[in-house]
Structure 1
Amino acid sequence: MTSIVEGGVEFFVPSTGQLCKTHYWIHGDLKSRQPPLIVAHGGPGATHYYVANLADLWKTHKIPVILYDQIGNGHSTHLPEKKGDNGFWTVELFVRELENLIDKLGIQEEYDLLGHSWGGMLGASFAAKQPQGLRRLVLASTVARMQDWIDSTSRLKLDLPQDVQDALEKHEGAGTTDSEEYKLAVEKFYEKFLCRINPLPEGMIIDNGWMEKDPTVYHTMNGPSEFHITGHLRSFDITSDLHRITVPTLLTNGRYDGAQDDVMLPFFKEISSRVKWIQFAQSSHTPHLEECERYFSVVDCIRANLKPNLLRPA
């Protein structure tokens, strides 16, 4: 039977004038022989719900899993008054929150980290600081240089019906991305390149609900959609720091992913440690949902020694 501990840790952010809270869920036993796996969700502005199935790694592979909602999202402290505040919603804010969570949970001596999408951008930024205790890193469907993602999703949009492309172009040009027509066109992209499961898994539906209720973080840092990047993450580029990642690293992406191979390639080329890269042939941006059983088996390799620079498409 799965053991789940739910709680929150205080996270002091001086510019808010208040103690914030990071809400977390621990699946499994942190005192077991296996180092825990921390899962950093995407967005920015999403929640843990769409990656919650990764907690089953405790049942299938006896890996303790820590899920958490990042500040501004889900069950953690919301700060809608900070909407549009680029100086507040920074990568460094979320790195400090992750450091605080690790310290407060007392796992700083040994742990693994999996970051999906934006969570991988956060995870790579965190790992480049060479934190104590980080043992293995998984960078899932993520971005080293945002311009690569923008270029990739621009190419993928060409596979959509012409009327959908026209609707996207019209509303992005007019600044009417809050219109229903734009939202419906965005959904057509997501059905092909975000998650190809129909109907959507429950976790993604719940996650979408949270983001609709409070889009503060997503709209400030990212923009109105996964491919129309108007927030300050548009200039994100960690390629010059990737050589500072010194722990064995697993890269994953999907065949129909916005994180196409050329988006993932800088991680493979620049990380100075051992790297293994696996592409999931039937998946888009969420292989952990679309090819769940195989994904669990692949992620389990973080417990083993990774062979150097080995590219293995599924």
Structure 2
Amino acid sequence: MPVIEGTVPFLGHHTWYRVVGNGRAGRLPLLVVNGGPGCPHDYLDDLAALPEETGRQVVFYDQTGCGRSDHPDDPALWVMSTFVEELGAVRAALGLDRVHLYGHSWGSQIALEYVLTRPAGLASLTLAGPIASAPAHQAETRRLKDSLPADVRETLDRHEAAGTLDDEEYQEACLEFYGRWLCRLDPWPPHLVRSFTNIREDVAGTLWGATEWNITGNLKDWDVTGRLREIDLPVLITSGRHDVATPAAVGPLADGIRGASWVVFEESSHLPSAEEPERYRQVLGDFLAAAEAPTAARAA
């Protein structure tokens, strides 16, 4: 499978990208916006099988500040507008005039903000493990944390009160949370480990905060729930039955976006693309094919 890698100039720095596959005539490319913040795209590499299975290109990139992209030391960059602008810059530089857009987790937030600018040429939007409201997401992650065993909660609370989040005991307690609601595979696949161990903590902390359940960063008040009716695209929403993106948090997206389809993967948590990869790609591939079919055919 052919792979092209390169960089796109962005705000005086360089954003790294990878294009997988040649793309078959009539099959539009899929542009992938991964989660984080501050996390490289590697954990979504199961989507790289789509070109062989569906005949469409898949385009990945590492957001500025992480992975193979430049790592500027400029806290002023760590705001939502930087990443929305970067998405547009990658799309323009690669000539993706007509494209499907895919956003996972934090990437769903970027994708939603981008779509709400009403850019031309989008064929569809897929929101995977999505977030429409940071406060609503925080409420749900705190509820999940509170459901952990008492000794795990005590460890988390004690280290958070002391500010010793780098302590090995605290990190192990966090894995109890992530093993239930981020990825239920044991062991975690290497591509997830690569992403998880290469998160740029200052970027994540400035945008989000130190923990999944305590949003203190620039995104703490972020909420587009009231604007979802503005979205006029074919939309697929995916989540796992055991997802950190819980039904209470995802439901407003399914209800608020006209015509959106919501598929729940029963054996998955936050990463059904890795936990149920074949079925996930089948569902995604079918949706993309239907979305790019003529309107009359989709209505038939």
TM-score with structure 2 length normalisation? 0.93
| 1:125 corresponds to | 113
Contact 1:130/1:246 (CA < 8 Å) preserved in 2? no
Is 2:102 the partner of 1:114? Answer: yes
CA distance in 1 between counterparts of 2:33 and 2:275 reads: 18
Find out whether 1:9 has 2:8 as its counterpart: yes
Which of 18, 22, 34 aligns to 1:29? It is 22
1:204 to 188, 192, 204: 192
How do residues 170-181 of structure 1 correspond to structure 2 at under 5 angstroms? 170-181=158-169
What pairs with 1:221-240 in structure 2 (closer than 5 Å)? 221-240=207-226
Match of 2:245 in 1: 259
1:63 aligns with 2:63: no
1:148 partner SS: helix
The match for 1:101 is 90
Distance 1:30 1:107 in 2: 12
Superposed CA offset, 1:212-231 (max 9, x none): xx322111111223223221
SS, match of residue 132 in structure 1: coil
Cα drift, residue 244 of structure 1:
1.7
Q: In the alignment, which residue of structure 2 is the partner of 1:48?
A: 41
In structure 2, runs of 5+ residues without a counterpart are 293-300
Specify every segment of 5 or more residues in structure 1 that has no aligned partner in the other structure, as ranges. 14-18, 307-314
- Residue 200 of structure 1 deviates from its aligned partner by 0.7
* Partner-residue secondary structure (3-state), 2:219: helix
The equivalent of 2:231 in structure 1 is 245
Match of 1:92 among 69, 81, 100: 81
Q: Summarize deviations over 1:141-180 as a string: whole Å, max 9, x none.
A: 0110111111111221233211101111122233322222
TM-score with structure 1 setting the length: 0.89
Distance in 2 between residues matched to 1:178 and 1:231, nearest whole Å: 18
Report deviation, 1:45: 0.7
Q: Distance in 1 between matches of 2:289 and 2:14?
A: 30
Q: Which amino acid is 1:118 matched to?
A: W
Cα distance between partner residues in 1 of 2:208 and 2:163: 15
Does 1:295 pair with 2:276?
Answer: no
Q: State the alpha-carbon separation in 2 of the partners of residues 283 and 30 from structure 1.
A: 29
Is 1:220 matched with 2:213?
Answer: no
CA contact (8 A) 2:23 2:56 kept: no
> Which residue in the other structure is 1:309 paired with?
none
Looking at structure 1, the residues matched to 147 and 43 of structure 2 have their Cα atoms a distance apart, in angstroms, of 26
1:281 is the counterpart of 2:269: no
CA distance in structure 2 between the partners assigned to 1:42 and 1:32 by the alignment: 30
Retained in 2: the 8 A contact 1:250–1:302?
no
